[in-house]
Amino acid sequence: MPASSLYDLTGRIALITGGSYGIGYAIASALAAHGARVAFNDISRELVDKGLAAYREAGIDALGYVCDVTDESAVRGLVSQIERDAGTIGVLVNNAGIIKRVPMIEMEASDFRKVIDVDLTAPFIVAKAVLPGMIASGGGKIINICSMMSELGRETVSAYAAAKGGLKMLTRNIASEYGQYNIQCNGIGPGYIETPQTAPLREPGHPFNRFIISKTPAARWGTTDDLAGPAVFLASRASDFVNGHILYVDGGILAYIGKQP
């Protein structure tokens, strides 16, 4: 088989949750560039419309839907609608997520539960909804967007770290339970990525910017383009015997203790 055909996603329907912008948009665009038909959702009509405009500008014929991924009934409806509009979902990217940066002793339990609901329960709900179609069609790919906080703790992110650690184990359990159906479930753990949300932290001289550069062997922030290749790999036939793995795209942070004094 030619190497290029391993990464050919022609005919595959890919659902990217929270795919209107940022990491989700970048991954969806990469999958589309390799032939996938992209469908995405977001929480509001405004975000979906902005996403559709961005995809059109990039020459991508994407399908956009308003859906709250924490609502199981709504997610079942979303999957059914995509099946009617495009076909069976062969690739799922569980990208939608939130973070609340609050010291643990100041965080309300309701806010903790909200982060768990969006970042952990929702991937369970969406995966549960697409798995029957994948089984019936002979296989599929699920990519969960994990985090370095799937491995590390840090101040003010107790809920996020708990959710992303749980998502790592959900990834492994889906692989264990459904690998027999030719379904591969893996995760991508982004490092610190250049997005509009991190722009203030990346200002020259900002203490957090210096901190990240010093902790990253690549000596830079990642870009959303750095996630494209890993996503295509995990969505394609090239990864057919890779299952239950978390691929950290972090410039080497997790391998590095830092410069010696």
- Catalytic residues, by residue number, are 160
Question: For residues 48 and 96, is the Cβ–Cβ distance under 8 A?
Answer: no
- Quick one: CA dihedral 112, 114, 118, 122, positive or negative? positive
At residue 166's C-alpha, the angle toward residues 145 and 189, to 5°, is: 30
Half-sphere exposure of 193 (CA within 13 A, CB side): 21
The pair of three-digit structure tokens given for residue 114, joined into one six-digit string: 């909200």
CB-based burial label for 82 (10 Å; 0-12, 13-18, 19+) = buried
